[in-house]
Amino acid sequence: MSTVITLENVAKTFAGPQGPVVALGGFSMKAEAGEFIAVRGPSGSGKTTMLLVAGGLLRPSTGNVNLLGTALYDLTPGQRSTFRGRHVGFVFQEFHLLPYLTVLDNVLVPSLAFPIDSARDRALEVLGRLGMAGRVRHKPAALSTGERQRVALARALLPRPSLLLADEPTGNLDGANAKIVEDALTAFTRDGGSVLLVTHDDRVAPAATRTIELLPHEAT
Amino acid sequence: MKTTRLILAELGHRKLNFALSLFAVAAAAACVLGVFLLLAVHDARTEALLEERRARIEKRGKALQDDMRKITKGLGFNILILPKDQNLAEVYTDGYAAKTMPEEYVARLAGVPSIKTIDHLLPSLEQKVTWPELKRAVILIGIRGEVPFVGRKQKKPLLQPVAEGEVVLGYELHNQMGVTKGDTVTFMGRELRVAETYSLRGTKDDITLWISLPLAQEILDKKGRINAIWALNCNCHSVEMLAEVRTEVQKHLPETQVLELAGKATARAEARKRAFEDAVAALDAEKRSRAQWRRQFQSFGGVLLPVVLLVCGVWVGILALSNVRERRTEIGLLRAVGVQAGRMTTLFLGRAAIVGLLGALLGSLFGCAAGWIGVQLLAGEQADSLASSALASLGMPVLVVLVCAPILSALASWLPAQHAGQLDPAAILRRD
């Protein structure tokens, strides 16, 4: 198995009105290809901060992030954006779909950042796999919550990333929809991808091959 | 997916922001075109007005020329051909030339077919003499009637000749003698029948008697001599053409000099000419007045347009900033999927440029339509032609507006677009 991402002693401190606030303190982990890792911890433990750092969106105060053998924060911001777009997929609890685009166009949004081969065909294929083939021309407002999350998942999967970073993707979903998402994530790992899933959801956590607990003391 | 598709879809989604931005750009574009349109209408109206006045003046000029011809015919815009060595001061003092020239001159002039400026030639011999039988000074004029131009169709004579043995008397003379037409009078011992008597003219004609030229030459002992050739009914279209007549006569009769006779006709002609010149001056004044209005309006436009552009620019900028703030999450998401900061700035600048282009199109349509309606309402009969010519001249301004509006709109949105590119996606997406 090859290593997809490595976080070494990563810490993130923010400046606050009453002095520095440690959002993430000295966190290390490694994810291999095909691993489904659940990251759990109480609110304020730095789970989302860890995901943003791992995804190249938030430069850590200390420590290193290595993605597919590339030191992420040694890249220029532009290079990092493209690298992230090609190799990392994000799924958020709030979906962040663009309300004015159709389902298909929402899935195609990553193609704004860089060219993706046969993007439209790939988008239709992913949507088909997630049971959204009949909804491609609908706007997000016409979809159920579960359907919206599936669209967000399809958008994350479009560029065939190696790493999927999911932040409470099932937090707003009912059991059936949570299962669909869980299955999709599992399928992704079966295809060789790695998943870092931040969740409080006990329904999904058992699907993970490994669970990392972020303890409050690590964030303070 | 293309960026344009994303921009257009977003514009369609956030209708209020889009409509307000569009309105700002359209208002600025319409304002710019409105100024151009007003200037174009003013120019077209000026052109039409001046053209109409020019036509009127031209018509008046032609009427004036016609008048001149009539005046010269009626009042004798004529010339007097005198011997070259004749002192003109004496002519003005005495009223006739003391020097004489060969009568043959008149035949020579009449034999030149190229002379076009003169219609009638009348040789005369004139001298102040004493009428011994009346014991008073009179002016004796010997005339032989008109000498026709060779090869030219004979025109109706302006003056009738006096036949041999006859006399024509001025008012003073026939009145003093109490004679009428058909009576006989004695002049220097010769019995002459009165062929005509003139009524009072208030000129030297009143003390003049006209007899035949040969008789006058005999009485004055100047056989074969004349002291003037009257060139009557000159075809002069203007007073300036006298020089042309003079040149033509002197070319064939170098031993003569040419004198303008009829001051009255000249005065009238000059008066008409002055009236014509006054009309031309009034036209120039109108031209200057309209040009001044144009300059003033241009100055006003020069102040108004920058203010309008500034206000609309600020308005577009505020709306762009509002759009960026409203789309923070979207920006975070786009950055997360790999869209670079520069591309994000371009996305918002592109949106502003599209709004600018659409606003310019709308403003151009609205400006032209409003201008058309305004001209139709205000310009009366000439509305159609004025509006057409004004709108036809708007091609370049419309093109400039269509090119400049997207650029200015993008410039107005520059800071918000930069702000969009600099937003930290992590700060947007971080929940905890």
CATH at A82:
3.40.50.300
Model pLDDT, residue B327: 93
Q: How far is B10 from chain A (nearest CA, A)?
A: 6
Q: Indicate the length of chain A as a whole number.
A: 220
Please state the domain count of chain A. 1
| pLDDT above 70 coverage of chain B, percent | 89
Q: Do A57 and B343 touch (CB under 8 A)?
A: no
Model pLDDT, residue B432: 38
Q: In whole angstroms, give the CA distance from residue B178 to residue B134.
A: 12
Q: Do B340 and A82 touch (CB under 8 A)?
A: yes
Q: Which H or E element spans position B192?
A: strand B190-197
Q: Do A109 and B432 touch (CB under 8 A)?
A: no
Range(s) of the domain holding residue A197: 3-219
Q: Pairing state of beta strands A88-92 and B208-212?
A: unpaired
Model pLDDT, residue B61: 75
Q: In whole angstroms, give the CA distance from residue A55 to residue A91.
A: 11
CA of residue B329 relative to chain centroid, distance: 71
User: Partners of A5 in the beta sheet?
Assistant: A31, A67
Model pLDDT, residue A25: 85
Higher pLDDT, B281 or A156: A156
Q: How far is B52 from chain A (nearest CA, A)?
A: 60
Task: Give the CA distances from residue B365 to residues B24, B31, B351, B377, in Å, rounded to whole numbers and listed in that order.
Answer: 15, 12, 21, 18
Show me where the domains of chain B are located.
3-62+273-429, 78-261
Residue B431 has pLDDT above 70, yes or no: no
Residue A130 in tokens = 């997630």
Residue among B348, B363, B360 nearest B317 (CA): B348
Q: Do B338 and A99 touch (CB under 8 A)?
A: no
Residue B285 has pLDDT above 90, yes or no: no
Residue A28 in tokens = 């290390």
Record the pTM. Answer: 0.66
Residue B135 has pLDDT above 60, yes or no: yes
Tracing tokens 């065939």 back to the chain, one arrives at A160
pLDDT tens track for B366-409: 888 887 787 777 767 777 777 777 777 788 888 999 999 999 99
Q: Which residues of B363-375 are buried (b: 16+ CB within 10 A; e: fewer)?
A: bbebbbeebbebb
Model confidence at A219, pLDDT cuts 50, 70, 90, reads very low
For the four alpha carbons of A7, A167, B338 and A191, in that order, the dihedral sign comes to: positive
Residue B142 has pLDDT above 60, yes or no: yes
* ipTM > 0.85 for the complex: yes
Model pLDDT, residue B88: 86
Please name the residues between 315 and 354 in chain B that touch chain A, using a CB distance below 8 Å. 329-330, 332-343
Model confidence at A211, pLDDT cuts 50, 70, 90, reads very high
Average pLDDT over every residue of B179-187: 92
Q: In whole angstroms, give the CA distance from residue A47 to residue A54.
A: 11
**Ramachandran assignment for B369, one of left (phi > 0), alpha (psi -120 to 50 degrees), beta (any other):** alpha
pLDDT tens track for B52-82: 888 888 887 777 766 666 655 555 557 788 9
Residue B263 has pLDDT above 60, yes or no: no
Model pLDDT, residue B70: 61
Model confidence at B160, pLDDT cuts 50, 70, 90, reads confident
Q: Do A78 and B337 touch (CB under 8 A)?
A: no
pLDDT tens track for A114-131: 999 999 999 999 999 998
pLDDT tens track for B311-365: 999 999 999 999 999 999 999 999 999 899 999 999 999 999 999 999 999 999 9
Q: In whole angstroms, give the CA distance from residue B344 to residue A77.
A: 13
Residue B201 has pLDDT above 50, yes or no: yes
Residue A148 has pLDDT above 70, yes or no: yes
Mean predicted lDDT score pLDDT of chain B: 85
Name the residue facing B9 among A101, A114, A119 (closest C-beta): A101
Higher pLDDT, B264 or B215: B215
Model pLDDT, residue B195: 92
Q: In whole angstroms, give the CA distance from residue B432 to residue B426.
A: 11
CA of residue B292 relative to chain centroid, distance: 19
Q: In whole angstroms, give the CA distance from residue B191 to residue B180.
A: 15
Task: Give the CA distances from residue B147 to residues B80, B150, B157, B244, in Å, rounded to whole numbers and listed in that order.
Answer: 15, 9, 10, 21
Residue A8 in tokens = 């070494």
- Which amino acid, residue B13? H
